A and B are shown apart, each in its own frame.
Chain A
Amino acid sequence: MNLRTSAAVYQKELLEIFRDRRTMISMVVVPLVAIPLMFNLINRFMTSREKQAEGESITVGVLDESKVPTVLPALKAAGFRPVVKADLRAAVANKEVAAAVEEAEAETGDAVTGKRISIYIDRTRQASDIAGDKIRTALDKLKIDTVRASLRGSGVSEKILTPFSTTRVNVASEKKMSGLIFGSALGYIVILLMFTGAMYPAIDMTAGEKERRTLEAVLCSPAGRNEIVFGKILATSTAAFITALLTLGSMAYSFRFAPHASQSQEAFHMGAPDIGSLAMALFAVIPTAIMAASLMVAIALFAKSYKEGQSYLTPIVMLAAFPAVVGMLPGLELTPVLALIPIFNVCQLIKEIFLGEFSRAAFAVTLGSNLVYAAIAFYIASRIFKSESVLFRV
């Protein structure tokens, strides 16, 4: 095989890729513009929703302030604003109040105060759920205070209430915590966009060339079929890799700099990965980029027009998303056997790279197996490229 010829094909294809609007949108615009925009919008939406929920969650429905004498001071102390409602269930269901509290006489022996307190919430609503939690915390405090007051009179030490204290210690490092957030989503997004990034160049340089009737001139040149298809696959792989590179960079930037307001989003921001992990993740996706490119070139060769190529390759992108989604599931570990499953393996590997706990064996098996799949896909593509019936529909 003459590599100079492949290099000429590669150069020409890259030139065409960079001048094709569709390819540039999927390869550059989506990762560089759509992803930061998406993160920004999600963040703003989450922030605004949390603020809205916070605001809504301070209203609590009561039948009458005089009918909740036991809990009213505690609720007011916790920042709740009581609102009188005749039908508490309906008021919560109709979103007139975040939650509602009702006091009733307890059955005999049910409670020291002789009261049974019901909290009404709508768990499908974030504001109501938050209000329910806050009311329970306020009432728990009231409960303890009531017991303390009783104990003070009886001469028993208040310490009996706290026989021991508990502390939860998170042994996961900051890198691991950030990796959990960043890595889980990243593998899926990178794979999905990488396949999309490879899709348009693959169609353009196969079905597109057929449609534009430029392929025949290349086939009549001294260039061998293997040399031509190698150049095309290399160019498609480059497009896929550039998409992955821009997606990773863009996501890292978005995680670091997207606007944030709440505590939960602080963790999101902590998720910005280190350069070493990013570089390793990029290295890990190379064989998958070649595999995706070879597979897409092979399939797109069967199409005789750009449109037909799109209908052949869109399901492939969707199929690729399935193992990528599985890779997002928590609790899975990349064993050497699981490392043989294409696409899933690289998603899981990316996650583990950012968690900082991947094994060298799994890394090697993932890269090795993906290289083998890439080689098989390349072989299939080169065979198809030699088929008269596929190229000329004869």
Chain B
Amino acid sequence: MIQVDKLAKSFKDKKRGIVHALDHVSFQVKAGEIFGLLGPNGAGKTTCLRLLATILKPTSGTAQVGGADIVQSPESVRRQIGFLSGDMGSHARLTPREVLSFFGKLNGITGSKLSQRIDQMVELFDFREYADTKIDKLSTGMKQKVAIARTVLHDPPILILDEPSAGLDVPTARLIERFILNAKESGKCILFSTHVMEEAEYLCDRIGVVHQGRLKAEGTMEQLRELTGKQRLREIFLDLLDMPEAVGAGI
């Protein structure tokens, strides 16, 4: 479902000159699979996900998302994805129902179908009580439920999640984890980034370690253990960061 091929993105920076935020990264994610991009801050994870969500354009390379090319058919790509970021804010002046209505319309859902879908989301994520309360009056957990509902409202086959549990307390982070596992069970293709080792180890079928814009290695936990000779993901991760060149199971 996601096929990334030598994807690269460079920025011009006044002080640093040309910065290679993403340097010829390749990987793929299948339907019903959770692929985790693991890396320190500034590794290029967010850039990679933004490129796949077509809100940034690649400098070189390409990617297919749900069979659509991110450069040639960005709108077709966006139709098939649900994008959630831990850094995203919420429309504080709107109610959850209004937010869902807005994003439903952006995804081409209208009329009674939209109303039905919104009701389904309200039931599924259990926020009937505050569905018509302005979002700025809600707690972080409640807001996160609304954000998840907004992400899956149009039932996208692909989920791109950028550090979705960043800054959340344990119960709210747990909510995100359940959501990801449920999505996997329903056959969705899930690409998510994190720098939380436990989260990656617990959720991911395969993990890609990104550092300084480059994919150092990718594979299952077993493959990464074999590659580094280390057991815990934290050790594997640190080991891979120190390696000068890209190595690894899927590389």
Which of A11, A20, A222 gathers the greatest number of chain B CB atoms within 10 Å?
A: A222
Query: Is B197 engaged at the interface, CB distance under 8 Å to the other chain?
Result: no
Contact A8 B89 (CB under 8 A): no
For the complex formed, measure the closest distance between the CB of B136 and the CB atoms of chain A, giving whole angstroms. Answer: 10
Contact B106 A223 (CB under 8 A): yes
Which residues on the A side are within 8 Å of B85 (C-beta)? 216-217
Query: Is A95 engaged at the interface, CB distance under 8 Å to the other chain?
Result: no
Contact B89 A20 (CB under 8 A): no
Query: A217-B88, A220-B83 known; A392 and B78 CB under 8 Å?
Result: no
Q: How far apart are the CA atoms of A272 and B162 in the complex, in Å?
A: 60
Query: Is B110 engaged at the interface, CB distance under 8 Å to the other chain?
Result: yes
Query: Is B234 engaged at the interface, CB distance under 8 Å to the other chain?
Result: no
Query: A15-B94, A16-B91, A20-B93 known; A221 and B11 CB under 8 Å?
Result: no
B53 interface neighbour in A4, A16, A220, Cβ under 8 Å: A220
Contact B88 A221 (CB under 8 A): no
Query: Is A12 engaged at the interface, CB distance under 8 Å to the other chain?
Result: yes
Question: Which stretch of B31-39, B97-105, B168-176, B208-216 is in the interface?
Answer: B97-105
Closest B residue to A7 by CB, please name it.
B105
Which of B90, B105, B134 gathers the greatest number of chain A CB atoms within 10 Å?
A: B105
Contact A221 B89 (CB under 8 A): no
Q: How far apart are the CA atoms of A189 and B249 in the complex, in Å?
A: 70
Q: How far apart are the CA atoms of A221 and B88 in the complex, in Å?
A: 14
Contact A222 B106 (CB under 8 A): yes
Q: How far apart are the CA atoms of A277 and B236 in the complex, in Å?
A: 77
Closest B residue to A218 by CB, please name it.
B106
Which residues on the A side are within 8 Å of B75 (C-beta)? 222, 224
Q: How far apart are the CA atoms of A362 and B128 in the complex, in Å?
A: 58
Which residues on the B side are within 8 Å of A394 (C-beta)? 11, 21, 56
A217 interface neighbour in B56, B103, B134, Cβ under 8 Å: B103
Contact A221 B93 (CB under 8 A): no
Query: A213-B87, A213-B88, A222-B75 known; A16 and B94 CB under 8 Å?
Result: yes
Query: A214-B90, A217-B83 known; A5 and B106 CB under 8 Å?
Result: yes
Query: Is B124 engaged at the interface, CB distance under 8 Å to the other chain?
Result: no
Q: How far apart are the CA atoms of A216 and B87 in the complex, in Å?
A: 10
Which residues on the A side are within 8 Å of B238 (C-beta)? none
Query: Is B107 engaged at the interface, CB distance under 8 Å to the other chain?
Result: yes
Which residues on the B side are within 8 Å of A19 (C-beta)? 93, 134
Interface size of A by CB at 8 A reads: 26
Query: A19-B93, A212-B92 known; A222 and B107 CB under 8 Å?
Result: yes
Which residues on the B side are within 8 Å of A12 (C-beta)? 91, 94, 98, 102
Q: How far apart are the CA atoms of A16 and B89 in the complex, in Å?
A: 15
Which residues on the B side are within 8 Å of A217 (C-beta)? 83, 85, 88, 103, 150
CB-CB contacts of B92-124 with A at 8 A, as 1s and 0s? 111000100011011110100000000000000
For the complex formed, measure the closest distance between the CB of A208 and the CB atoms of chain B, giving whole angstroms. Answer: 10
For the complex formed, measure the closest distance between the CB of B137 and the CB atoms of chain A, giving whole angstroms. Answer: 12
Query: Is A388 engaged at the interface, CB distance under 8 Å to the other chain?
Result: yes
For the complex formed, measure the closest distance between the CB of B161 and the CB atoms of chain A, giving whole angstroms. Answer: 11
Closest B residue to A219 by CB, please name it.
B55
Which residues on the A side are within 8 Å of B87 (C-beta)? 213, 216
A4 interface neighbour in B88, B98, B105, Cβ under 8 Å: B105
CB-CB contacts of A202-213 with B at 8 A, as 1s and 0s? 000000000011
Query: A12-B102, A19-B93, A220-B83 known; A392 and B88 CB under 8 Å?
Result: no
For the complex formed, measure the closest distance between the CB of B20 and the CB atoms of chain A, giving whole angstroms. Answer: 12
For the complex formed, measure the closest distance between the CB of A132 and the CB atoms of chain B, giving whole angstroms. Answer: 61
Query: A12-B94, A222-B78 known; A216 and B106 CB under 8 Å?
Result: no
Which residues on the A side are within 8 Å of B90 (C-beta)? 212, 214
Closest B residue to A223 by CB, please name it.
B106
Q: How far apart are the CA atoms of A388 and B89 in the complex, in Å?
A: 19
For the complex formed, measure the closest distance between the CB of A205 and the CB atoms of chain B, giving whole angstroms. Answer: 11
Contact B105 A220 (CB under 8 A): no
Query: Is B25 engaged at the interface, CB distance under 8 Å to the other chain?
Result: no
Q: How far apart are the CA atoms of A220 and B87 in the complex, in Å?
A: 14
Contact A220 B79 (CB under 8 A): no
For the complex formed, measure the closest distance between the CB of B125 and the CB atoms of chain A, giving whole angstroms. Answer: 16
Contact A5 B105 (CB under 8 A): yes
Q: How far apart are the CA atoms of A216 and B98 in the complex, in Å?
A: 18
Question: Which chain A residues numbered 222 to 278 have a C-beta less than 8 Å away from chain B?
Answer: 222-224
Query: Is B191 engaged at the interface, CB distance under 8 Å to the other chain?
Result: no
Closest A residue to B9 by CB, please name it.
A394
Query: Is B24 engaged at the interface, CB distance under 8 Å to the other chain?
Result: no
Which residues on the B side are within 8 Å of A223 (C-beta)? 106
Q: How far apart are the CA atoms of A19 and B95 in the complex, in Å?
A: 12
Which residues on the A side are within 8 Å of B30 (C-beta)? none
Q: How far apart are the CA atoms of A213 and B85 in the complex, in Å?
A: 10
Query: Is B184 engaged at the interface, CB distance under 8 Å to the other chain?
Result: no
Query: Is B57 engaged at the interface, CB distance under 8 Å to the other chain?
Result: yes
- The 4 tightest CB contacts between A and B, nearest first, are A8-B105, A213-B89, A220-B83, A221-B106
- Excluding A16-B93, A216-B87, A222-B108, 12 further A-B contacts by CB distance (< 8 Å) are A4-B105, A5-B105, A9-B106, A19-B93, A19-B134, A212-B90, A214-B88, A220-B53, A224-B75, A388-B56, A392-B56, A394-B11
Interface on A for B, CB 8 Å cutoff?
A: 4-5, 8-9, 11-12, 15-16, 19-20, 212-214, 216-224, 388, 391-392, 394
